[in-house]
């Protein structure tokens, strides 16, 4: 028999599935807590859980997805990167990730014709000045997507003098936008050591278990890539997890069209499927504050998840997320701690996280006041109200600030009421303790004058409405990205639907496909709110891991054909080169370009590890001296 293993490492859980490739059937699944202090431990534990009865030689493919690259970028980790800007200087106070930057003369025009030669001596002198201060180099050239020669030449020079990572912007994106390509290149250098360590650890552990199958990684656009490609371009994994969920939804539901809603611990991720592939973003992936040019699925990710913290606002309303907490149902509380919750009227607890090498550095660098606050949590979990009161007694008057700081550094975490706990109160999900969530529901329900079960039902329905509204927002923003939903009276009216004379209902034309452990509890009601069909699929709780192994090798790119009126020749701009063709007219130019595009698509798909490659070509009408060819190459891993 032949098996495949899919692994997804999320913020709360790490999932693994074993797929019978010959029969296209999931035969084993495993869900384990994600080990943040050492992510690989959770991954390997999940793999162990699905392979215990399988000979390693029977595993022919392994594929993984993860949010590791995203987290490292959002948290601002990594040292300085050396950014060489060829033919372009920042003019609008553009900000960059942590980097040393230098301008190097040398540029091309929009047709890819050199208008200023590369100053090679400047490249050498800058690298010598930076010395060991930078951990790698990013090279971004003006109009390099029309002619990458200056970037490639700079790479060759750098290789002569350094063994540190070198990334050129044209290999990351074929899109115009120098600034965004430069940012993308810098971020790519930053995550190279992180992702390299991740895939190396995974491969070592697999080999120890007798598994030597090729390993692929899910990219942000939902396609698979070889480990070798991801080592060079790890930035392409930033939306790996949500992309895997979309592919898993397609595979599990056997639907080519639908709205995929993935309820994770921290976020709800919403994507659309068309033609069996996730819609792609025209702008590229945005990670934290940085807009990149990484080809990515068109994803709406919002801070609503199974671990979203539920709090009662002073005016009596309920707030769900975006802050998270470990569900009380899995908090492992003593009877005394439950009594403490009731006496303080506060259902949130604070606990220390296991420290990793990175968080140990943060711990050692704490200022006296933050360190003093941290020491109060030594015998955790401690009730949040007790902690803040005790901090004031110790003259640590900025307790909420210290708590937030230590959370951001990964040293503390909260345990509190979440949507997962609501399901325990309502008897819809009982994987953990039901007594603790029920006790917490009594505390919170009393504050708004409701019975505990009624309180849980009210908040659950509010959670479901918020998810439905986020689906609507995704479609509205797809039509008009300028729509502002904040302080928008019309949107508030539609959302609240409180008029006696007018009723507002949303009607979604596509079915809703749910992924994630709590999907079956929340999403049928969301589908009802949207007037659409809910598709319940098997193994929805590990849908991301299914998507990791069920994905395909897909390479999508555009080819620009441009007429040169001065010479009657045509330029063909392929992903990594510019070709000049001498033909009679536009029709011949387009035909020649399509041949070149087809060959390039097959080459790229095969280099990425694909076999049985199918290439689809679409073309736009040649207008105003320009034409475009759109290429999709799909191969089996």
Tell whether the model's pLDDT for residue 431 goes beyond 90: no
The torsion angles phi and psi of 346, rounded to 5 degrees, stand at -130, 125
Within a domain: 64: no
Within a domain: 408: yes
Report residue 559 as tokens: 């080819």
Average pLDDT of the residues in 469-482:
86
Domain C-terminal end among 163, 190, 217: 190
Among the listed residues 236, 217, 249, 240, the one whose alpha carbon sits nearest the alpha carbon of residue 61 = 217
Tell whether the model's pLDDT for residue 334 goes beyond 90: no
* pLDDT tens digits along 415-430: 999 999 999 999 988 7
Tell whether the model's pLDDT for residue 438 goes beyond 90: yes
As a whole number of angstroms, the distance between CA 284 and CA 288 comes to: 13
Among the listed residues 207, 173, 202, the one whose alpha carbon sits nearest the alpha carbon of residue 282 = 173
Looking at residue 362, what is its pLDDT? 66
Within a domain: 63: no
What is the SS3 assignment for 65-84?
EECHHHHHHHCCCCCCEEEE
As a whole number of angstroms, the distance between CA 585 and CA 583 comes to: 6
* pLDDT tens digits along 230-269: 888 888 888 888 888 888 998 899 898 999 998 888 788 8
Within a domain: 335: no
What is the three-class DSSP state of 595? helix
Tell whether the model's pLDDT for residue 338 goes beyond 60: yes
Within a domain: 399: yes
Tell whether the model's pLDDT for residue 444 goes beyond 60: yes
Domain C-terminal end among 171, 190, 209: 190
Displacement of CA 477 from its chain's centroid (Å): 19
Average pLDDT of the residues in 498-519:
86
Average pLDDT of the residues in 618-636:
87
Looking at residue 391, what is its pLDDT? 92
- In percent, the amount of the chain with pLDDT more than 90 equals 26
**Of 67 and 512, the one with more pLDDT:** 512
Tell whether the model's pLDDT for residue 524 goes beyond 90: yes
- In percent, the amount of the chain with pLDDT more than 70 equals 96
Average pLDDT of the residues in 38-62:
86
Residue 264: C-alpha distances to residues 14, 107, 240, 242 (Å): 11, 46, 14, 9
Within a domain: 474: no
Report residue 459 as tokens: 């908040």
Range of the domain at 389: 348-416
What is the three-class DSSP state of 123? helix
Please classify residue 17 by burial: count the beta carbons closer than 10 Å to its beta carbon, then call 0-12 exposed, 13-18 middle and 19+ buried.
buried
What is the SS3 assignment for 560-612?
EEEEECCCCEEEEEECCEEEEECCCCHHHHHHHHHHHHHHHHHHHHHHCCCEE
Tell whether the model's pLDDT for residue 326 goes beyond 70: yes
Looking at residue 77, what is its pLDDT? 63
Report residue 281 as tokens: 């973003």
DSSP state, residue 593 = H
427: number of CA atoms within 13 Å, CB side? 3
Tell whether the model's pLDDT for residue 187 goes beyond 80: yes
Tell whether the model's pLDDT for residue 454 goes beyond 70: yes
* pLDDT tens digits along 78-99: 678 999 999 988 877 788 888 8
Looking at residue 366, what is its pLDDT? 83
The torsion angles phi and psi of 506, rounded to 5 degrees, stand at -95, 140
pTM given for the model? 0.75
Average pLDDT of the residues in 32-45:
80
As a whole number of angstroms, the distance between CA 238 and CA 218 comes to: 10
Per-residue confidence at 106, pLDDT binned at 50, 70, 90? very high
Tokens 């011949």, residue located: 588
Looking at residue 140, what is its pLDDT? 92
Tell whether the model's pLDDT for residue 310 goes beyond 80: yes
Within a domain: 447: no
Determine how many CB atoms are found less than 10 A away from the CB of residue 420: 26
Average pLDDT of the residues in 591-619:
88
In DSSP notation, 363-380 reads: HHT--HHHHHHHHTTTT-
Report residue 160 as tokens: 């002569």
109: number of CA atoms within 13 Å, CB side? 6
Tell whether the model's pLDDT for residue 542 goes beyond 80: yes
Give whichever of 48-62, 190-204, 357-371 has the largest mean pLDDT: 48-62
Average pLDDT over all residues of the chain = 86
Domain C-terminal end among 190, 221, 248: 190
* pLDDT tens digits along 125-178: 998 889 888 888 999 998 887 888 999 999 999 999 888 889 898 888 777 788
Within a domain: 620: yes
The torsion angles phi and psi of 553, rounded to 5 degrees, stand at -80, 115
Per the structure, the count of domains in the chain is: 3
Looking at residue 418, what is its pLDDT? 94
Report residue 345 as tokens: 């009227």
């Amino acid at each position: 028999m032949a098996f495949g293993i899919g692994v997804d490492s999320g913020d709360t859980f790490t999932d693994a599935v074993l797929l019978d490739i010959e029969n296209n059937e999931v035969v084993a699944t495993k869900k384990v807590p994600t080990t943040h202090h050492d992510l690989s431990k959770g991954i390997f534990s999940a793999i162990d859980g699905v392979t215990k009865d399988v000979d390693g030689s029977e595993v022919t493919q392994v594929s993984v997805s993860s949010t590791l690259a995203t987290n490292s970028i959002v948290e601002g980790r990594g040292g300085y990167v050396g950014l060489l800007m060829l033919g372009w200087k920042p003019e609008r106070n553009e900000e960059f990730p942590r980097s040393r930057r230098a301008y190097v003369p040398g540029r091309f025009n929009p047709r890819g014709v050199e208008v200023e030669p590369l100053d090679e001596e400047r490249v050498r002198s800058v690298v010598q000045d930076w010395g060991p201060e930078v951990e790698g180099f990013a090279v971004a050239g003006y109009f390099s997507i029309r002619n990458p020669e200056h970037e490639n030449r700079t790479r060759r020079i750098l290789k002569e003098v350094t063994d540190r990572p070198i990334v050129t912007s044209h290999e990351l994106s074929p899109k115009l936008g120098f600034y965004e390509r430069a940012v993308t290149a810098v971020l790519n250098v930053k995550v190279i050591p992180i992702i390299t360590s991740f895939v190396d650890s995974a491969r070592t552990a697999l080999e120890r278990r007798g598994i030597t199958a090729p390993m692929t990684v899910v990219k942000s656009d939902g396609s698979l890539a070889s480990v070798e490609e991801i080592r060079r371009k790890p930035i392409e994994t930033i939306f790996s997890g949500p992309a895997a969920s979309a592919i898993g939804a397609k595979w599990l539901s056997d639907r080519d069209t639908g709205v995929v809603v993935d309820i994770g611990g921290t976020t709800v991720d919403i994507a659309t499927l068309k033609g069996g592939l996730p819609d792609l973003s025209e702008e590229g992936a945005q990670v934290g504050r940085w807009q990149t040019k990484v080809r990515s699925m068109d994803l709406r990710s919002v801070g609503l998840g199974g671990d979203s913290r539920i709090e009662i606002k002073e005016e009596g309303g309920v707030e769900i997320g975006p802050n998270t907490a470990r569900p009380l149902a899995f908090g492992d509380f003593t009877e005394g701690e439950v009594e403490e919750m009731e006496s303080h009227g506060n259902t949130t607890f604070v606990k220390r996280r296991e420290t990793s090498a990175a968080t140990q550095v943060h711990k050692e660098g704490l200022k006296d006041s933050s360190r003093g606050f941290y020491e109060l949590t030594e015998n955790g979990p401690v009730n949040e109200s007790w902690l803040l009161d005790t901090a004031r007694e110790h003259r640590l008057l900025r307790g909420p600030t210290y708590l937030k700081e230590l959370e951001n550094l990964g040293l503390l975490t909260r345990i509190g009421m979440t949507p997962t706990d609501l399901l325990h109160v309502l008897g819809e999900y009982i994987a953990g303790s039901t007594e603790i969530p029920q006790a917490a529901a009594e505390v919170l329900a009393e504050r708004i004058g409701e019975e505990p079960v009624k309180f849980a039902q009210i908040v659950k329905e509010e959670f479901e409405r918020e998810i439905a509204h986020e689906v609507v927002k995704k479609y509205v923003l797809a039509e008009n990205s300028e729509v502002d939903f904040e302080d928008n009276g019309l949107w508030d009216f539609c959302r609240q639907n409180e008029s006696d004379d007018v009723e507002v209902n949303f009607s979604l034309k596509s079915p809703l496909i749910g992924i994630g452990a709590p999907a079956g509890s929340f999403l049928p009601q969301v589908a009802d709110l949207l007037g659409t069909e809910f598709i319940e699929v098997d193994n929805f709780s590990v849908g991301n891991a299914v998507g990791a192994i069920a994905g395909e090798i897909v390479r999508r790119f555009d080819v620009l054909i441009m007429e040169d009126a001065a010479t009657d020749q045509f330029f063909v701009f392929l992903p990594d080169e510019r070709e000049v063709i001498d033909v009679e007219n536009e029709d011949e130019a387009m035909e020649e370009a399509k041949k070149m595009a087809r060959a390039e698509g097959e080459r790229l798909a095969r280099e990425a590890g694909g076999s049985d490659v199918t290439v689809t070509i679409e073309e736009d009408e040649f207008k105003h001296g320009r034409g475009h060819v759109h290429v999709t190459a799909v191969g089996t891993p």
